[in-house]
Chain A
Amino acid sequence: MEFLEIFLSANFWAASLRIATPLIFGTLGALICERAGVLNLGIEGIFTAGAMSGWLAVWLGAGLIGGLLVAMVVGALIGLIHGILTVPLGLSQHVSGIGVTLLATSVAYFTYRTTLPDVTSPPRIEPFRPLDIPILSDLPFIGPALFQQTFMTYLAIALVFIVGWVLARTPLGLAIRAVGDNPASVDSQGMSVYGLRIGAVMVGSSIMALGGAFLTMAAFDAFFFGMVNGRGWICIALTVFASWRPRKALLGALLFGAFEAYQVRLQTEVGSFVPGEVFLMAPYVLSIIALIVAARSADYPRALLVPWFKGQR
């Protein structure tokens, strides 16, 4: 049967991992912000800004690593705006997040347009090339399926374990988890709630920006309007699905990547008699179903969305 044969192609698994990569970055970033108690709906805009700024830096000659650093700095700065609005000023995290998304997206488009006023087709850059892991990439099936990815995919997976380790095993992680559960616990022990929360939002946002940068620097090699296409919002849902745990976030992103890769292949198989939109919709429908199942038992950070003001209890 053709439907099942798709799972037997190494190409399908490689595509799943590739599609999952920006979602891994985005979900990790959202998870760090939310663990500290701040919902960051600026994610969609941060993706766009990360995609644009990373690409532009490379196009202007900064090199690929330079491009990633530029994207991270841009992400952190946007995170700083969201952090200041929501943490010391205590504005609605939803409203601020949407505003930040609109702002970051518009500024990214504006910068792109003003830098390149005359181009008709988006200029391409030399992107990250697939990096074969010695020995592992030569394994039959598994090699081409998993170990012939770009540097950014490996980075994303490494970050899953780094973020997991920091959250679970270090004093910093302890403080971030505490500030997202009960800010007073951190304040009463002499630490700065504002510092921790803004710091977490900045770091989380810079990791989100890497997700955007992946799109222009490893997937499409160029910047287009509308290219982020809701990936940021998917990450917000995946964060709940993952119950704020990095390794579950990896799992969720891979699942979504697999749905997406599967529907693309299914379209070519049976697309002649079922409208293509049905397949485009499928991953989102499935993620909503997965969310309904997972979110009921989700262990929300208790202080998520709750602003905290010094000296008020």
Chain B
Amino acid sequence: MSAAKRTSAPEAGIELPVILELDNITKRFGPVIANDGISLTLRRGEVVALLGENGSGKTTLMNVLFGHYVAEDGEVRVAGKNDNLVQLAPGSPQTALEAGIGMVHQHFTLAENLTGFENILLGVESLFGLARGRGAARQKVQNIVRESGLAVDLDIRVSSLTVGEKQRVEILKALYRDARILVLDEPTAVLTPQESEGLFEIIAKLSAGGLAVIFISHKLHEVLAASHRMVILRGGKVAGKLVTADADRTMIAEMMVGRSVPGSKRSAMAPGEIILKFDGAHVDGVDARRSLHNASIEVREHEIVGIAGVTGNGQAALAALISGLVKPDKGSVQFLGERVSKFTPKSFMDAGIGRIPEDRHHDGVVGAMSVAENLAIENLEDGRFSSNGMLRFAGFREYADAMIDTYDIRCSGPDAETRLLSGGNMQKLILARVLDCEPKLILANQPTRGLDVGAQTDVHNRLLAARERGAAIVLISEDLDELFALADRIVVIHAGNLEDAGAIENLDRTSVGLMMAGHQDEARAS
């Protein structure tokens, strides 16, 4: 990641005028205090990173700023004419827009059946008027595109744009409305490393032009590369404010979590027998996201194979194939040296394949059932859980008590309703269910998505322990940090093709990033 941009005014010691002030913002949801007296200032041309774990109040704070929520206490002040700060009326997105605050949400707020240009015009023209002056509007958009470098085809439907292009339309939307303050909520969550870098270049260019930017993130390396200052939230309060030039990763991570976070240690280990082997496996899915072409891969004992790729490049097909949800249309799948002929989730589970699904709420647990039921659900035929076709709830509870203890699942007990668990605890439940059976092969599909640093470390350590025990693990992840921390080998998935990138020791982020974007040749050359 380039650090080329840390050269602008704030560092040169010039005090630019304050453009935004959040003063003592407090927001409650019932008994939960999401924001507890948070204050923050932002100067013109400054890039401030807002960091924090899930539930630390980042998004709530930005929603207060943008008028989606009304804070119980505190006020938002925005620079008006002559740079004097004026209080912003709370609870009105319209007012926030007029004051020059633009927000790019994590989930894009674009109408996909309209063109980019139409999305930009949405809400700008008077609702009951005629579509006049679109020539002038187009001219203005083109000027913004030229100055910012946000190139994107604005005359095709948004649905046919890539995620990165959609994000550009979102930023253009804000700039078209003369935003002076741009808020980006987790802007890189869905981008390839290259796209992220492109985004940071654009942010640098815009901030040099006077735009103030707040960007929300929990990826430390990009925060270090792209911001001037950072504000760290924890449990709804400001845990610290740092100047990026003086900050380092451990310092930030500790502020975010509130204690020191030891990283996971991967010990060297010789891989053993081949557990899983694909030989030219082919899946014709309903669309490209669910297709796999001529995939060959080997996963051995004591080995974690990381599948790197941007979401939607065939990971779903790969995961479905490893779980027995689909049958290959061509090619073969071998498990423990034998060719698999029966593709059902049941036969795969019985053979010793454990699955940590991508969408834990939807595919991992039954939210309305209890923790004990969810823990037992994959092994109901086990003598502990049933006898003579009748369920033994005492066995359920006994087992659940043990698992809650061993895997540190925080809940009110075996009878707790599973949907009420936090993401991290829900994932611990799934880990307990999968790992306690000591599977020979584990499919971990985005196992730490949406988890905070503490829970992430826990998942990582559990997977490493399984590897130590002798399990073969397929780890599908978008997070390069995670892959580089855990995987022995990386296989890149792009447009349904698997490409073996090799042992982790010989790899760097740039070349993996290039391969993720489909530039195999450049990756080799670099």
A residues near B, CB below 8 A?
A: 169-172, 174-175, 177-182, 184-191, 299, 301-302, 310-311, 313
User: In the complex, are the beta carbons of B123 and A182 less than 8 A apart?
Assistant: no
User: In the complex, are the beta carbons of B109 and A182 less than 8 A apart?
Assistant: yes
Q: Which of B68, B97, B98, B114 contacts A177 (CB 8 A)?
A: B114
The answer to the question of B122 belonging to the interface, with a C-beta cut-off of 8 Å to chain A, is yes
User: In the complex, are the beta carbons of B114 and A174 less than 8 A apart?
Assistant: yes
Instruction: Tell me the bound Cα distance from A17 to B60 in angstroms.
Output: 56
Given contacts A171-B126, A171-B127, is CB(A189)–CB(B113) below 8 Å?
A: no
User: In the complex, are the beta carbons of B69 and A190 less than 8 A apart?
Assistant: no
User: In the complex, are the beta carbons of A185 and B122 less than 8 A apart?
Assistant: yes
Task: Please name all residues of chain B whose beta carbon is closer than 8 Å to the beta carbon of A185 when the two chains form the complex.
Answer: 109-111, 119, 122
Q: Which of B47-55, B128-136, B439-447, B486-494 contacts A (4 or more CB under 8 A)?
A: B128-136
User: In the complex, are the beta carbons of A186 and B122 less than 8 A apart?
Assistant: yes
Beyond known contacts A178-B122, A189-B173, A302-B113: 8 more, CB 8 A cutoff: A170-B131, A171-B125, A175-B127, A187-B93, A187-B109, A189-B123, A190-B98, A302-B112
Interface centre among A179, A181, A185 (most CB of B within 10 A): A185
Instruction: Tell me the bound Cα distance from A12 to B302 in angstroms.
Output: 79
Q: Which of A174, A180, A302, A310 contacts B122 (CB 8 A)?
A: A174
How far, in Å, is A196 (CB) from chain B's closest CB? 8
User: In the complex, are the beta carbons of B118 and A174 less than 8 A apart?
Assistant: yes
B 99-124 to A, binary, CB cutoff 8 A, 1 in contact else 0: 00001010101111110001101111
Q: Which of A191, A301, A311 contacts B123 (CB 8 A)?
A: A191
B residues near A, CB below 8 A?
A: 63, 68-69, 93-94, 97-98, 103, 105, 107, 109-114, 118-119, 121-131, 173
Instruction: Tell me the bound Cα distance from A188 to B185 in angstroms.
Output: 14
Instruction: Tell me the bound Cα distance from A190 to B102 in angstroms.
Output: 11
User: In the complex, are the beta carbons of A311 and B94 less than 8 A apart?
Assistant: no
Given contacts A170-B131, A171-B126, A174-B118, is CB(A182)–CB(B111) below 8 Å?
A: yes
How far, in Å, is A171 (CB) from chain B's closest CB? 4
Instruction: Tell me the bound Cα distance from A180 to B111 in angstroms.
Output: 8
Instruction: Tell me the bound Cα distance from A313 to B93 in angstroms.
Output: 15
Instruction: Tell me the bound Cα distance from A281 to B93 in angstroms.
Output: 53
Given contacts A181-B111, A191-B127, is CB(A175)–CB(B93) below 8 Å?
A: no
User: Could you show 11 A-B contacts with beta carbons less than 8 Å apart?
Assistant: A170-B130, A175-B122, A177-B114, A178-B113, A178-B114, A178-B118, A180-B113, A182-B109, A188-B109, A302-B113, A311-B63
Given contacts A174-B118, A189-B97, A190-B97, is CB(A182)–CB(B112) below 8 Å?
A: yes
Instruction: Tell me the bound Cα distance from A187 to B107 in angstroms.
Output: 13
Task: Please name all residues of chain A whose beta carbon is closer than 8 Å to the beta carbon of B129 when the two chains form the complex.
Answer: 170-171
How far, in Å, is B57 (CB) from chain A's closest CB? 15
Task: Please name all residues of chain B whose beta carbon is closer than 8 Å to the beta carbon of A188 when the two chains form the complex.
Answer: 93, 103, 105, 109
Given contacts A171-B129, A174-B114, A190-B94, is CB(A184)–CB(B105) below 8 Å?
A: yes
Instruction: Tell me the bound Cα distance from A185 to B105 in angstroms.
Output: 10
Task: Please name all residues of chain B whose beta carbon is closer than 8 Å to the beta carbon of A311 when the two chains form the complex.
Answer: 63, 68-69
Q: Which of A171, A175, A310 contacts B68 (CB 8 A)?
A: A310
